[in-house]
């Protein structure tokens, strides 16, 4: 039976925080309200023989190697002009949707915001059951990049999903009933969250976590598929050696890692979190994962004596049964530019130097495309696929980058670096077509300026601690607008020696054997680099933040078809059949990095961000497009300013540290613009922030991290901001009344 969630596109109070656009607390599925469905059985033998079942999509990337390739060819270069709408499923949420659905025997399983799960009829979109977990939104306080979820795993009649607050669930694939659940987070006082998909690895399911922008120490954990009992845990970076061994699978190798950290402030965490990019080779029984940047970014803070800082920014292989270290390859030794090695890890066989070679491939955030031997970790190739000035090249013998010392900001000076923290390629899946031999990569071109923070404070629990100031390179286009200490970087003579500071995104076809770009699609907005899927019909399919689904020819990048859906798309599509009909399905909803405001060209700015799952087929109908969202009305009249210059200044600092990562205070964004607070919200401000008056709707309480005085100062600052904005509004339209907004207006 299909149940409709409450609308989440409006809020009850204009002062709601980050998760305000979620409904009131989610609930577990009602067994009486869920019609049992087929078991969705996926087993090792079936997955190994996936090419004998071309209509199935059994993992996030369809096959065991996660190539995001479907051999189906009913929809092809000749027939794609007939592609049209088949069905849609509205989730009732309006945040980031990043998962690729799994389709088994006509049933679609996928995750949504914060770890919800939906089981749908893959031919009609009818809801068979849904799982709506209770989520502790305290973790939202330390979420760099939205409360997204990148997918489920389906195995032997069970669906595995991890919620944003770190709870790993095993669900019955027939009805969504919880079979077991376990808390994967070790320290709730630090900035952890979970957004990645669980990885089935032999008899275990493996999950990591995020939080390297905060004060976390990354690790991965394996749990028994049947019981949920912890099998092993592997820590990614060392802890204070005075504390001794931890009884973890990583104990043996941590002595080697420790040698690469020098003068470390252990309290800051270290980072390295494995928040995405897992894969598994059943023949080698190795589980692979990529690790993130350091916490903090600045090596001068986390390891003042320098060093490679293992296992930051690394690809790591472990024995799936025991968690014992097998090998690693560090993509960015001593990482200090936010170059996580967490993008999609793809397993494939290539004809390498005339012989078949089982490889692991990654288009990394640092701008290099890597090919490694997946049994030994041997470096085979590493080449730039986007502009990257942090390193000249990769040394073929050592596999180490030859760094450009001119962009190392450890000396305390601002540096212009490419790629930016957005990455040359991020989590958005790439695809390998065996027909063309090409890897299709969603890429971004952008640089940023990094300036070390002078006199950084000690660790602030669950707060961002990068240790650097960050500005996108595009601001250098107007030298008059940049701070004095960056003026030398805006010098035209200097900029001529650097990559273009224009920020763009491009779909590129990469030949991993010839090690070069074969074709590039026309560039779009730099955040518009959604995941891609290729097919046996000679197609490459990619959704856009502009709300347009595009289909390209795989050999030369010719645009063959566009479908306007009106909702932004980030995820990669799944391609499958039910009966004789081929479908293309994609999750739609903007969110992720830069989630707290809508960049230019993002369809959510005009159409809103109502989350949907959309499916298309040949001879389908017209795709429903959401109506335009009305522009925000005038600002309400603010209260009198009671704070002093000193309290306002302290409030501005407190807001930046605690609130600004979510509340960008833009007119159009997924979280409330606090310049629009009503009289009611102002009166309840302390109850909301400190005592969790709106916690049931997702606004976490802060009484464990902020004092009453802190909150009073933050409120003083926000009143000053609202008064300034209101005064500007009155100057531009002095005769216009500015009525207070109705409660519920976003």
pLDDT in tens, 384-401: 999 999 999 999 999 999
What is the pLDDT at residue 139?
Answer: 77
| Cα–Cα distance measured from residue 441 to residue 446, given in angstroms and rounded to the nearest whole number | 16
**With the CA atoms of 149, 151, 156 and 158 taken in that order, what torsion angle do they form, in degrees rounded to the nearest 10?**
30
- pLDDT-derived band at 682 (thresholds 50, 70, 90) equals very high
33 in Cβ contact with 42 (< 8 Å): no
- Identify the residue with better confidence: 662 or 530: 530
Which secondary structure element, helix H or strand E, spans residue 154, and what is its range? strand 153-155
Q: Is the pLDDT of residue 265 over 90?
A: no
pLDDT class for 16, splitting at 50, 70, 90? Answer: very low
What is the reported pLDDT for 317?
Answer: 98
Distance CA 239, CA 218 (A): 11
When pLDDT is averaged across residues 60-78 and rounded to a whole number, the result is 98
Predicted local confidence at residue 32, as pLDDT: 38
Architecture in CATH of 1-30+632-746: Orthogonal Bundle (1.10)
For residues 580-605, give the mean pLDDT: 90
Per domain, the residue ranges of the chain are 1-30+632-746
Q: What is the pLDDT of residue 732?
A: 83
The predicted structure's pLDDT at residue 35: 58
Measured between alpha carbons, how far is 203 from 407 in angstroms, rounded to an integer?
45
List all residues 6 or more positions away from 238 whose beta carbon is below 8 Å from its beta carbon. Answer: 254, 257, 258, 261, 264, 270
Asked if the model's pLDDT at residue 740 lies above 70, the reply is no
Mean pLDDT for the chain? 90
- Kindly state the average pLDDT of the residues 597-601: 82
Q: What torsion do the CA atoms of 631, 635, 636, 642 make, to the nearest 10 degrees?
A: 150
Burial of 567 (0-12, 13-18, 19+ CB in 10 A): buried
The predicted pLDDT at position 483 comes to: 83
| CA-closest candidate to residue 19, choices 591, 697, 705 | 697
More confident residue, 5 or 706: 706
Checking if the pLDDT of 737 tops 70, the result is: no
Cα dist. 352→156, 372, 373, 385, 414 in Å? 35, 11, 10, 19, 42
Residues of the chain with pLDDT > 90: what percent?
A: 74
| pLDDT reading at 487 higher than 60 | yes
Annotated active-site residue 338? The verdict is yes
> Alpha-carbon distance 9 to 478, whole Å?
37
* Active-site residue, from 338, 528, 546, 554: 338
- 405-410-412-416 Cα dihedral, nearest 10 degrees: 50
pLDDT in tens, 650-677: 999 899 888 888 888 888 888 888 999 9
Contact status, residue 449 vs residue 410, Cβ threshold 8 Å: no
Q: Quick check: 734 and 629 in contact, CB under 8 A?
A: no
Question: Residue 34: which pLDDT band, with cuts at 50, 70 and 90?
Answer: low
Kindly report, residue by residue over 322-365, the tens digit of the pLDDT.
999 999 999 999 999 999 999 999 999 999 999 999 999 999 99
Give the list of residues 6+ apart from residue 420 with CB closer than 8 angstroms, or none: 338, 444, 446, 447, 448, 472, 473
- Residue-wise pLDDT for 214-233, tens only, equals 999 999 999 999 999 999 99
pLDDT score recorded for residue 734: 57
User: Are the CB atoms for 548 and 556 separated by under 8 Å?
Assistant: no
Distance CA 427, CA 444 (A): 12
- Check if the beta carbon of residue 734 is closer than 8 Å to that of residue 728: no
| C-alpha distances in Å from residue 439, one per residue of 67, 73, 369, 372, 431 | 9, 19, 10, 15, 5
Could you tell me the two tokens for 425?
Answer: 């390629």
pLDDT bucket at 744, cuts 50 / 70 / 90: very low
Total Cβ atoms within 10 A of residue 715: 24
Over range 143-150, report the average pLDDT. Answer: 90
| Residue percentage of the chain with pLDDT more than 70 | 93
Which among 24-33, 441-450, 490-499 has the top mean pLDDT? 441-450
Quickly tell me which residue has 């997924």 as its tokens: 670
Q: Where are the alpha helices (DSSP H) in 496-644?
A: 604-607
Q: Give the DSSP H/E element, type plus range, for residue 656.
A: helix 645-658
Cα-Cα-Cα-Cα dihedral sign, residues 374, 379, 381, 383: positive
In this predicted model, what pLDDT tens digit does every residue of 272-320 receive, in sequence order?
999 999 999 999 999 999 999 999 999 988 999 999 999 999 999 999 9
| pLDDT given for residue 137 in this prediction | 80
Is a pLDDT exceeding 90 seen at residue 70? yes
> Is the model's pLDDT at 148 over the cut of 70?
yes
């Amino acid at each position: 039976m299909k149940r409709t969630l409450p609308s989440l596109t409006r809020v009850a109070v204009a002062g709601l925080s980050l998760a305000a656009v979620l409904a009131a607390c989610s609930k577990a599925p009602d067994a009486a309200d869920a019609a049992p469905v087929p078991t969705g059985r996926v087993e090792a033998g079936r997955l190994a023989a996936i090419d004998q079942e071309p209509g199935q999509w059994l993992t996030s990337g369809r096959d065991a190697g996660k190539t995001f390739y479907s051999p189906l060819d009913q929809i092809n270069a000749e027939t794609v002009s007939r592609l049209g709408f088949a069905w849609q499923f509205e989730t009732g949420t309006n945040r980031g949707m990043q998962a690729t659905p799994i389709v088994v025997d006509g049933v679609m399983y996928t995750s949504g915001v914060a770890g919800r799960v939906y089981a749908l009829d893959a031919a009609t979109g009818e809801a068979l059951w849904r799982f709506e977990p209770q989520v502790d939104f305290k973790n939202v306080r330390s979420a760099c990049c939205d409360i997204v979820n990148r997918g489920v795993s389906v195995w032997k009649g069970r669906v595995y999903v991890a919620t944003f607050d770190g709870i790993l669930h095993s669900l019955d694939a027939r009805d969504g009933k919880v079979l077991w659940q376990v808390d994967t987070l070790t320290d709730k006082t630090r900035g952890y969250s979970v957004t990645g998909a669980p990885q089935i690895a032999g008899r275990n399911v493996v999950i990591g976590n995020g939080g390297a922008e905060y004060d976390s120490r990354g690790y991965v954990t394996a749990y028994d598929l049947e019981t949920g009992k912890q099998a092993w845990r592997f820590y990614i970076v060392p802890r204070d050696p005075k504390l001794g061994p931890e009884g973890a699978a990583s104990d043996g190798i941590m002595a080697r890692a420790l040698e690469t950290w020098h003068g470390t402030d252990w309290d800051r965490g270290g980072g390295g979190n494995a928040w995405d990019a897992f894969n598994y080779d059943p023949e080698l029984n190795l589980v692979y994962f990529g690790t993130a940047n350091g916490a903090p970014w600045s090596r001068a803070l986390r390891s003042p004596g320098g060093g490679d800082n293992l296992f930051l920014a690394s690809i790591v292989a472990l024995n799936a049964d025991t968690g014992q270290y097998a090998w690693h390859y560090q993509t960015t030794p001593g990482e200090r530019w936010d170059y996580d090695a967490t993008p999609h890890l793809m397993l494939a066989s290539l004809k390498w130097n005339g012989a078949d070679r089982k490889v692991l491939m990654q288009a990394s955030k640092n701008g290099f495309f890597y090919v490694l031997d997946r049994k030994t970790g041997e470096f085979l190739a590493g080449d730039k696929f986007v502009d990257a000035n942090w390193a000249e090249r990769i040394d073929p013998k050592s596999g180490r980058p030859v760094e450009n010392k001119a962009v190392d900001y450890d000396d305390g000076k601002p540096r212009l670096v490419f790629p930016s923290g957005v990455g040359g390629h991020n989590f958005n899946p790439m695809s390998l077509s065996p027909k063309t031999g090409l890897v299709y990569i969603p890429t971004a071109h952008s640089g940023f300026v990094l300036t070390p923070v002078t006199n950084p404070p000690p660790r602030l629990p669950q707060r961002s601690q990068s240790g650097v100031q960050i500005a996108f390179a595009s601001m250098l286009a107007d030298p008059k607008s940049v701070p004095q200490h960056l003026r030398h970087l805006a010098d035209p003579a200097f900029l001529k020696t650097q990559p273009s500071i224009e920020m763009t995104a491009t779909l590129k076809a990469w030949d991993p054997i010839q090690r070069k770009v074969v074709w590039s699609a026309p560039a779009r907005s730099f955040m518009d680099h959604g995941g891609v899927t290729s097919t046996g019909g000679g197609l490459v399919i990619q959704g856009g933040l502009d709300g347009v689904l595009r289909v390209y020819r795989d050999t030369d990048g010719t645009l063959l078809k566009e479908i306007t859906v009106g909702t932004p798309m980030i995820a990669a599509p799944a391609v499958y059949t039910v009966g004789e009909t081929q479908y293309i399905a994609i999750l739609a909803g903007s969110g992720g990095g830069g989630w707290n405001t809508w960049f230019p060209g993002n369809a959510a700015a005009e159409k809103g961000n109502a989350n949907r799952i959309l499916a298309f087929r040949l001879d389908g109908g017209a795709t429903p497009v959401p109506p335009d969202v009305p522009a925000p009305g005038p600002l309400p009249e603010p209260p009198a300013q009671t704070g002093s210059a000193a309290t306002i200044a302290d409030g501005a600092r407190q807001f930046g540290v605690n609130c600004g990562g979510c509340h960008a205070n833009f007119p159009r964004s997924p979280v409330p613009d606090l310049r629009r607070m009503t009289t009611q919200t102002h009166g309840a401000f302390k109850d909301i922030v400190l005592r969790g008056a709106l916690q049931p709707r997702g606004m976490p309480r802060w009484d464990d991290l902020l004092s009453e005085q802190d909150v009073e100062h933050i409120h003083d600052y926000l009143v000053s901001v609202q008064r300034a904005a209101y005064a500007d509004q009155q100057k531009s339209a002095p005769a216009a009344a500015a009525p207070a907004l109705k409660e519920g207006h976003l």
